[in-house]
Amino acid sequence: MMEPDRVLRPLYEAAPAIEQLETYASPAALQDALRGTWHAVDRTLRLLLRHDPGADDSLRLSALSETMTLDDVITALRRRDIITLYLAGRIHEFGQALARSQTTGVLAADADRALAVVQALETEIGAAARAGSGFERPDAATRPAERAEPDEHLAVPEASTGARRGLPRRTAVIAGAAVVVIAAATAAVLIAARQSEMEKGIAAFRMGSAGQAEQHFRVAAERDAGNVNARLYLGRILRTQDRHDEAARVLQDAVRIAPRDAAVRRELGQLFLALGRPTSAVEQFRVAVELDAEEPLGWVGLVTALRRADDPSADEWLRRAPASAQAMFRDSPR
């Protein structure tokens, strides 16, 4: 059995890029958001195949390999009816839009296509979990406790003040992002009343309702002392609101609960970058890369932090990074 939160983790981690699909202030910002979202979608689909208990071992072992194309992954998922034809089609459209945008420029509709894929992925994976088709969420009472070994290198960011840099929100309602297959939409309506605090928080977060999302994640964290994802979301919300001291406390708690969670380390690295402390950020991103070398976001954060720290080893780390991470720097070298 598989926890859907684990499969959807790349989308959770790419929340800044996904949010930028609606808040972008320039074509370059939209291009960055599209690339970040595409990498998260790619990773999510590969994890979905990797953790499909009914798939052949050869497919599961190859899912995260660069030798297996994304088209191959989608074909394998379709053959087992893990994703719908609707979602496969939306992914194809998103991929075509991204390829075209790199030569002829981005369009506002490209953001809609990307958001539609994110929405459909979350809906279909969530519906599959609730239908009991191979996915389940861990129960706090039965999940084995993770041994929190002391981490002497953990540094807690100090509070910081500074002007918040906001981006103007797009005023158009993204109708396409709300479109899902009829069966999945019907299921979502029927089970809405039974959504967990985490699910409500994620939904509010995706809608840009940071205040509501924060409340749901706080309740989820209070009810489950081991819920790292709730604290990860809280830390991200607080960081983007420049509530750095609060974010530091939440992320410190998350690291103590799960010292080997790469996503938490990446978020802590982002907080240090926001505080203008790139050397401390380097330490966190380096740990994240050691824990999850296949995730490009860790490498991107590490190279970015090294460059801001004027560390000459940045280029060497970039050369060692996976191709997906290098691609993120290709058009945005800074």
Q: What is the pLDDT of residue 330?
A: 63
Residue type, 15: A
Q: What is the pLDDT of residue 131?
A: 52
Going from the C-alpha of 98 to that of each of 20, 38, 232, the distances in angstroms are 15, 8, 29
CA atoms of 67 and 46, how far apart (whole Å): 12
CA atoms of 254 and 228, how far apart (whole Å): 6
Q: Whole-structure pTM over 0.75, yes or no?
A: no
Q: What is the pLDDT of residue 214?
A: 92
Q: What is the pLDDT of residue 201?
A: 87
> How many helices and strands in the chain, by DSSP H and E?
18, 0
3-state secondary structure of 135: strand
Residue type, 239: R
Handedness of CA 27, 33, 35, 37 (dihedral sign): negative
- Sequence-separated (6 or more) residues with CB below 8 Å from residue 272: 157, 278, 280, 281, 284, 305
Residue-wise pLDDT tens for the chain (334 aa)? 556 778 888 988 888 899 889 888 888 889 999 999 999 999 999 998 888 887 878 778 888 876 788 888 888 888 888 888 888 888 988 988 888 888 888 898 899 899 989 988 888 887 655 555 444 433 333 333 333 333 334 544 443 433 333 333 333 323 333 333 344 444 444 344 446 888 888 878 777 788 888 999 999 999 998 899 899 999 999 998 899 999 999 999 999 999 999 989 999 999 999 999 999 999 999 999 999 888 888 898 999 999 999 999 999 999 999 887 887 776 454 4
Residue 97 token pair: 């839009």
